[in-house]
Structure 1
C-alpha cells in the first residue's frame, strides 16, 4: 500500500500550483471531517476544539501514521502554513470589534493586566527553574526549552509552530514538535482542570451569582451601531478578506521599518529584528484598519461575524495542520521533560488564580480569574467556556475586562514580541539572567496590581460601561 500511494502521489506529475491546491483541498477536507465528528461527539461542550480531532485524523494518515496515505511533500507544505495562518488570525483580531474608550479604563482593568503579566512571565520563571535545576544538569537539554511553557500555554499551537524555525536556528531542533505537544496538553488541561476549579468555586461560594442578586434586564439596546445593510453574509467576505489583507500589509510594512531600525543599531538588537515574524505586528495593522473605519464612518464594511469566522477558520486550519505534522517519535523520547514542564506550568497557573487573584481583582474575582486561567493554559475559547460555566447569567464584568486586557497585551505575550524575544534573550543573556528578569517583572506586576486593587477598593472604581 505505501508503494502504491507513493506512486500515485509522485511529484513528477504535479507542478507547484497543483501541489498547493491539493494540499489546501486535503487540509480543508480533513478539517471538515473533524468538525463533523466533533459536533457529533459534542466536543465543544467540553471546550475541546474540533480542529484538534481533525489534526489527529491527519496524524493517522500522515506518512508515519497508522494508515500512511498522504505524501511527504504535502506534509512539507503543511509545515509552512502555521506562520501564514497565525498572521491571518492576528490580522482579523480587531477589525470587527469597536475600539474601547480608554479614559478611565486603567484602574478597573489594571488588576486584569497585572494578573496576566504575572501568569505569563511567571511561566518563564518556573520553566527557567525547571531547566536550570533539573532538565539541563541531569538530562542535558537546551536552555531554550525554558521558553516552551509560555509559547505553548499562552500562545497555543499557532505560536509554538511559528516559533519552530527560531528555535531550530538557536540549536533547539525539536522545539516546534515539543511546543505543539505542550500546547495540546495545555488545551486539554485548561478545560478539564478548569472545570474542576469551577466546581470547587461553587462549593466554596466564590461565584458572584452566589453573593449578589441577578441584574435587572435593561431591555433592548439602543446604542448606535453605524449604518445597517441588508448585504448577505457571503457577499461580505471579499470586503472583509481585503480588510484583513490590508492589516497584514500594514504589519509587513511595520516589520520592514523595524528591521531597518534594528539593522542600523546592530548587535543583538539587529538579531531581534531579523528574527521577528510579522504576526505580532499584524494586530497593530488590525487596530489601524479599525481606527480608520471608525474615523470615516465605514464600520459597516467590517462584519463582526465574517471577521470572527476568518479568524476561527484560520485558527482551525492552523491547529489541524500543526497537529497532523507532529513528530511522534521525538515526543515519545522526550516525555519526561514535557511532563516536568507541563506540571510546572499548570501548577503555577493554578496557584496564581487561587491565591493571588482574590487579592488583585474586585468582587467578581473568580469569574475574571477563571477566564485568565483558560486563556493562559489553553486558548481564549477555553477561558470563555469556563466563564460561561462560572457565570451563565453574565452578571460579572469579566468579559469586557478580559477583552480590554487582550487588546493591551496581545501584541506582547501569547505569541507577541516577548515570545519572539525570549529565546534570543536566553541565548544572549543566559538563562539565569532571563529568569531573573522575568521574576522582577512578576514582582513588579504583582505589586503594582495589589496597589491598584487597594486604590480601587478605596475609591469604589468599576469597569466603565461602553
Structure 2
C-alpha cells in the first residue's frame, strides 16, 4: 500500500462525514433519533462498500462497491489507534480531582459497569454449560465470548485469535468478531431508542423536550447568536500553532502510556516469566499517561497553555473518525457462521444489558441516571467508543457528570474488564481450571457490584 492510497483513504473519511452531515440536515427521521453524522456516514459506507453493494456485482469495477480494498485496510486500523487519543484526552486540560471525588462521581458508574461486565460472564458461562455445550458440542470457553465481544470489541477479539487457536477453539475468533459486530450495531440502535424513550418519559435531566427543539438544533447546527469560540489561543501562532501544540501533548500522553505498558510487559516477563500483560490494550495506559502529563503541567506550567476546549475538539475529531471507520468495516460475513450459538450468545448479552439499564441503573445511580448509565450500557454492548457516542447524544454539551464519571470509572474498570486483564485471561483461565471456578468467581464479583451499587450509591440523594 502506497502513501498516496493511505492519504486517499483518510480524505475519503472526510467525504463520508460531509455526506453524513448533509443527510442528517435533510432527514427528519434521523434528527428525531439524534443520530450523529458519524454514525450515518459509517452505515452509508458499510452499505456502499464491498460487503453490501459489492455483493451485487461479480467481479469488475463495482466488486468492492465505492470503497476499495485499500481504503478498507486503512479504515480497519483506525479504531484501535484513535481510541488511544480519546482516552489520552479524558483528563488533559482539567484539574485532577482527589480520590474522594473520583469515588463519589465515578463510583456509581463503576458499580453499574462492573455489574454489567461480570453479569455477561455469569450468564454466558451458564448458557455454555446448560445449552451450548450439551446441544451444540461447544467447549465451555464459549461462555466468555459475550464479554470478550461486547465489552472487549473487535480489537480484543483479534488480539485473542492466537490464544483461541492454541486452545483448539479457532471458531471462537469468528464468534467473538461477530458478537463485536452485532454489539456495536445493536448498541447504537438500542441506545438511541433508550434515549428517545427517556426524553418522552421525562427520565432525562439534560434533554427535556425534543418537541421544543428548534429546527437548527435538530439539524445539529448552533444558532448564530449562541455560537461560542471552539477553543482559546493559549500560545502565539508564530511560535507554534495552538492546535499543533495540543496535538503534540496528546501524542506525549500516548507515548507515556506506551512506555508504561512496555515496562509492565518487561517486568512481568523478567520477574514472573509470563506474558499476560501483552494482552492488555494500550488505551487504558494512554489515559494514565494523560493523567501523568496533566500532573506535570499542573505543577510546572504557570501559563496554563493547555486549553480544555482545544483538547475536546481533538477528542471529538478522533471519536467521529473512529465511529465512522468502525461501523464501515464491521464484518457481516461472520454473523452467518455458527448462527444459532451466535444468536443465543448475542440475545443473552443484549437482554442482560437491557435489564441492567432499565432495572438496576435507576437504583444504582442517584442523579442523571440515564445520561450516565447510557454510556456504560453502550460500552457493555459495543466497546468504549459506543458508550461515548451515546453519552454525547444524551448530553451533547456535557452538562451532567456523565463524561467525568465515565472517565473516573475507567481508571478502575479498564485494567480488568472491557479489554483488560480479566477479558484477556478469561478464556485461558476457563481452559486451565474449568468453567465452574471462574463462574463462582464471576458470581462473587457480580454480587459485589450489585450490593455496592444498590445499597451504597443507590441510597444517596442529589
CA contact (8 A) 1:114 1:448 kept: yes
Which of 454, 457, 462 lines up with 1:453 in the alignment? Answer: 457
- Once the two structures are superposed, residues 379-405 of structure 1 have per-residue CA deviations (whole angstroms, 9 ceiling, x without a partner) of 556556655776789875444433432
* Partner of residue 100, structure 1: 97
Q: How many residues align?
A: 422
What is the Cα deviation at residue 227 of structure 1? 8.1
Partner of 1:140: 137
Name the residue aligned to 1:111: 108
Partner of 1:311: 318
Query: Which residue of structure 1 lines up, in the alignment, with residue 245 of structure 2?
Result: 239
Distance apart, 1:121 and its partner CA: 1.4
**Equivalent position to 1:439, from 428, 443, 449:** 443
The partner residue of 2:170 within 173, 186, 203 is 173
Report what 1:377 is aligned to: 381
> Structure 2 vs 1, CA of residues 203 and 286 (structure 1 numbering), >3 Å: closer, same or farther?
closer
Deviation of 1:308 after TM superposition, in Å, equals 0.8
Work out whether residues 279 and 424 of structure 2, in 8 Å CA contact, stay in contact via their aligned partners in 1: yes
1:262 to 257, 263, 268: 268
Is residue 188 from structure 1 mapped to residue 177 from structure 2 by the alignment?
A: no
Q: 2:305 aligns with which of 300, 303, 318?
A: 300
Distance 2:40 2:297 in 1: 32
Whether the aligned pair in 1 keeps the contact of 2:6 and 2:74 (CA below 8 Å) is no
What SS is found at the alignment partner of 1:228?
Answer: coil
Q: Kindly state the Cα deviation for residue 163 of structure 1 after the two structures are TM-superposed.
A: 4.4
- The answer to whether the 8 Å contact 1:35/1:50 transfers is yes
Structure 2 residue matching 1:120: 3-state secondary structure:
helix
Taking a change above 3 Å as real, the CA distance of residues 131 and 21 of structure 1, as seen in their structure-2 partners, is farther
SS in 2 for 1:300: coil
Q: Between 420-429 and 121-130, report the one with greater CA deviation.
A: 420-429
CA distance in structure 1 between the aligned counterparts of 2:397 and 2:85, rounded to whole angstroms: 33
Cα pair distance change 1:90/1:200, threshold 3 Å: closer
For 1:343-370, what per-residue CA distance to the aligned partner results, in whole angstroms no more than 9, with x for missing partners? 1111111111222223222154344333
Closer/same/farther in 2, CA of residues 254 and 156 from structure 1, 3 Å limit: same
Correspondence list, 1:276-295, <5 A: 276-295=280-299
- Give the secondary structure class of the aligned counterpart of 1:141: coil
Match of 1:424 in 2: 428
Rounded Cα–Cα distance in structure 2 between residues aligned with 1:281 and 1:59: 35
**Judging changes above 3 Å, is the alpha-carbon distance between structure 1 residues 208 and 321 closer, same or farther for their aligned structure 2 residues?**
closer
Match for 1:31 among 3, 10, 13? Answer: 13
* Contact 1:280 1:415 survives alignment (8 Å): no
* Deviation (angstroms), 1:49: 5.5
1:322 deviates by 4.2
**How far does residue 158 in structure 1 lie from its aligned partner after superposition?**
4.2
- Residue 41 of structure 2, aligned match among 45, 50, 60: 50
Shift of 1:442: 0.7
User: What is the alpha-carbon distance in structure 2 between the residues aligned to residue 386 and residue 158 of structure 1?
Assistant: 20
Whether the aligned pair in 2 keeps the contact of 1:413 and 1:419 (CA below 8 Å) is yes
Equivalence map 1:347-386=2 (5 Å): 347-378=351-382, 383=387
Gaps of 5+ in 2: 25-29, 209-225
Which secondary structure state, in structure 1, belongs to the residue aligned with residue 366 of structure 2? Answer: coil
Determine helix, strand or coil for the equivalent of 1:292. helix
Distance in structure 2 (CA, Å) of the matches to 1:421 and 1:190: 25
Q: 1:288 to 1:388 in 2, by over 3 A?
A: closer
CA distance in 2, matches of 1:126, 1:386: 25
1:414 aligns to what SS in structure 2?
coil
Shift of 1:262: 2.0
**What residue number does 1:21 align with?**
3
Corresponding residue of 2:123: 126
Relative to structure 1, the CA distance from residue 91 to residue 176 in structure 2 (aligned partners, 3 Å threshold; closer, same or farther) is farther
The answer as to whether partners of 1:115 and 1:449 remain within 8 angstroms in 2 is yes
Deviates more, 1:42-51 or 1:438-447: 42-51
TM-score (structure 1 length as normaliser): 0.74
Distance in 1, Cα, partners of 2:193 & 2:71: 40
Task: Name which of structure 1's ranges 109-118 and 153-162 shifts more when overlaid on structure 2.
Answer: 153-162
TM-score by length of 2: 0.75
CA–CA separation in structure 2 for the residues paired with 1:81 and 1:209:
32
Query: 1:68-87, aligned counterparts within 5 Å?
Result: 68-69=63-64, 83-87=80-84
Instruction: Give secondary structure in 1 for the equivalent of 2:50.
Output: helix
Deviation at residue 309 of structure 1 after TM alignment: 4.3
Aligned-partner Cα distance in 1 for 2:297–2:425: 32
- Give the Cα–Cα distance (whole angstroms) in 1 for the partners of residues 343 and 198 of structure 2: 27
In the superposition, relative to structure 1, how do residues 77 and 190 fare at CA in structure 2: closer, same or farther (>3 Å)? Answer: closer
Q: Does 1:344 align with 2:341?
A: no
C-alpha root-mean-square deviation of aligned residues, in Å?
Answer: 4.0
Q: Distance in 2 between matches of 1:163 and 1:94?
A: 30
Q: Distance in 1 between matches of 2:205 and 2:284?
A: 35
| Secondary structure of the corresponding residue to residue 131 of structure 2 | helix
Cα deviations by residue, 1:285-333 (Å, 9 ceiling, x for unpaired): 222122212222265246314531453266247516742xx371x4322
**Alpha-carbon distance, 1:130 to partner:** 2.0
